[in-house]
Amino acid sequence: MKYIGFEEVKKDGKTYYKNREFGLCSEEEVKKINAGIAEEVSKLKLCPFCNVWKSDINHKGICKECRNKPTKAYAKDHKDRLTERFNCPCGGTYQRRNKSIHFKSKRHIEYENENDPYD
């Protein structure tokens, strides 16, 4: 899919994009809408406890919902999840809590530039 949440429509020899929320849009319009969506999405952070991308994550990396039910077991589980290691397709590894830092690292950015899906 070229634009998040939009379906491509051919009409009168032109390409349009449509979805339920915005209806039929020209490519110019859908570009603006998608830039807005991307900005909204970039504000979200992954809560490692409920594993959901949320906008209400505090400085400790916990969403509001999970903050309201803290227990000792939860705190340990949370720490384990934060320090869990992942292998990245760029060849590096990162801890869950360092994911966003890793994604901004030189190695990862070089990998992404070489593997740009739109090339």
Of 25, 30, 33, 63, the one binding Zn ion (CB under 5 A) is: 63
Rounded alpha-carbon distances, angstroms, from residue 100 to 14, 44, 109: 39, 11, 12
The candidate with the shortest Cα–Cα distance to 100, out of 45, 36, 37, 57, is 45
Q: In this chain, which stretch among 10-18, 25-33, 70-78, 86-94 interacts with Zn ion, using CB under 5 A?
A: 86-94
Q: In this chain, which stretch among 3-11, 26-34, 68-76, 101-109 interacts with Zn ion, using CB under 5 A?
A: 101-109
CA angle 53, 111, 79 (to 5 degrees): 40
Beta bridge partners of 106: none
* 57 part of the interface to Zn ion, by CB under 5 A: no
Q: In this chain, which stretch among 8-16, 37-45, 56-64, 69-77 interacts with Zn ion, using CB under 5 A?
A: 56-64
AA identity, residue 87? N
Query: What does the binding site for Zn ion look like in residue numbers (CB under 5 A)?
Result: 47, 49-50, 63, 66, 88, 90, 92, 108
